[in-house]
Structure 1
Amino acid sequence: MRVHVCAVGRLRTGPERALIDDYTTRFDRTGRGLGLGPLDMHEVEDRKGGGMEAEAALLERAIPRGAMVVALDERGQVMGSPAFAEWLAGWRDSGRGDVAFLIGGADGLAPALRARADAALSFGRMVWPHMLARVMLTEQLYRAAAILAGSPYHRV
């Protein structure tokens, strides 16, 4: 199952980019034998300043046809890493070819796009900067693959 992170904004060189690249490489390496991956980053940018609705239109175009759509949103489901790994494995095992995780811009995701999602995931009740949400998501994707592979990376 291919994994897509569809995010508003372009991430420049820096510590966040280095972390994302590292976790993406780890996920691709660990997930390959599990039927997970590759992990692709789709960055969109609304240069005309159209707000959430314009960002939503750009994100919609980045979602692969037929993909399971997961909105990252503070109102989404809060879960532990093992449960997240089970989510991924369940989608993979049900024959999903793609899953797309959506990360909005500074104002979040447009309500219509959020409503269109098949699931919503929250990293807790605190609001996180969208650039850090990318780092956290890629780490959790790698952690999920490590859990499914029986790796000692995840410790309880």
Structure 2
Amino acid sequence: MLLHIIARGKIGRTSEAELVDRYLKRISWPTRVSELPDRGGSLPEAASNAVSVVLDERGQALSSSAFARKLEGWRDTGRREARFLIGAADGHDEGLREKADLLYSFGPATWPHMLARAMLAEQLFRATSILANHPYHREG
């Protein structure tokens, strides 16, 4: 299953970009990052049977293990792509939120969208590590 981060804004050559790259290179699953302008622009074409995850502070906060189980379930039911949408400073429009298969939150705090990208990359690495029984994740 392709893990596809679709983010508003250009990350450029920043320390956050280095973190994103570091974690994505460690993931054994195929990954892709697409950047959109802060406003406007079209979402990249989705693979058939894709799942849509919208990062939103009002979404569901999941433990790393629970997040891994979500990925596992989607993969095992034949989903070809998991799309993770990160909004710009003003978040997502209501239509996109309503169409999401999951509204996912890193908690009630507001995070800078560039940092959220790095946090998502780390959680994707952690989740795939959990599913591979890799020792990176330590429970409790």
Shorter-chain-normalised TM-score: which range? over 0.9
Aligned residue identity for 2:62:
M
Aligned residue identity for 1:109:
H
Which residues of 2 match residues 8-87 of structure 1 at below 5 A? 8-27=8-27, 31=28, 37-46=29-38, 51=39, 54=40, 58=42, 61-66=43-48, 67-87=50-70
TM-score computed with the length of structure 2 as normaliser: 0.94
- CA apart distance, 1:149: 0.9
Does the aligned pair in 1 maintain the 2:47–2:80 contact within 8 Å?
no
- CA apart distance, 1:14: 1.7
Rounded to whole Å, the distance in 2 between the matches of 1:77 and 1:14 is 29
Q: CA RMSD in A?
A: 1.2
Q: Larger % of helix: which?
A: 1
Aligned to 1:91: 74
Rounded to whole Å, the distance in 2 between the matches of 1:65 and 1:142 is 21
Rounded to whole Å, the distance in 2 between the matches of 1:45 and 1:85 is 29
Q: Which runs of 4+ in 1 moved over 2 A?
A: none
Rounded to whole Å, the distance in 1 between the matches of 2:137 and 2:47 is 32
TM-score computed with the length of structure 1 as normaliser: 0.85
Q: How many residues align?
A: 138
Aligned to 1:34: none
The 3 A distance-change label for structure 1 pair 125 and 42 is same
Aligned to 2:85: 102
Rounded to whole Å, the distance in 1 between the matches of 2:101 and 2:83 is 10
Percent sequence identity is 48
Aligned to 2:2: 2
Does the aligned pair in 2 maintain the 1:6–1:63 contact within 8 Å?
no
Aligned to 1:140: 123
Aligned residue identity for 2:15:
P
- Any idea what SS the aligned residue of 1:40 has? strand
- CA apart distance, 1:65: 3.8
Aligned residue identity for 1:42:
S
Rounded to whole Å, the distance in 2 between the matches of 1:148 and 1:124 is 23
Q: Does 1:151 align with 2:124?
A: no
Return the match for 1:127 from 102, 107, 110.
110
- Structure 1 residues 129-153: Cα deviation after superposition (integer angstroms, max 9, x where no partner): 1000000000000000111111111
Does the aligned pair in 2 maintain the 1:63–1:100 contact within 8 Å?
no
- Any idea what SS the aligned residue of 1:62 has? coil
